[in-house]
Amino acid sequence: MKGTLGGIALAALLTATAAFAHHGWSEYDSKNELELKGTIEETGYSHPHGLIKFKTTEKTWNVVLAPPSRMENRGLSPEMLRVGQKATVVGYPNHNNADELRAERISIDDKTIELR
């Protein structure tokens, strides 16, 4: 029993450490805030973060949104993130993945939702 509890505690610690590392700000260039205008091409409203594929005139971005519970609490419903919807996204590009942006806020239909 004691070994099982120790294994569970270790697994929980490793999971928490991996989650913290994944969500760290260091992956994103916080000195380079971008404002992108475009169209939602794909959407995912799931854990751990919502995601959209966002087409601008320059390229298509993979935009990391907030967790679904936060989006819902702040007024961003899954129905608002529909394919073909025009939007403006403000956020920071990933240092290592030139196609990824971590969104700070998103504006849809004259409504701006703070995600962080």
Q: Is pTM beyond 0.75 here?
A: yes
| pLDDT tens digits along 45-72 | 988 999 999 999 999 999 999 999 999 9
Greater model confidence, 54 or 8: 54
Q: Domain 28-114 maps to which CATH number in 2.40.128.120, 2.40.50.1010, 2.30.40.10, 2.60.40.10? A: 2.40.50.1010
Rounded distance between C-alpha atoms, residue 106 and residue 75, angstroms: 11
Mean pLDDT calculated for residue range 19-38:
80
| pLDDT tens digits along 89-111 | 999 999 999 999 999 999 999 99
Residues in contact with 30: Cβ distance below 8 Å, sequence separation at least 6, in sequence order: 92
**Residue 116 pLDDT level (bands cut at 50, 70, 90):** confident
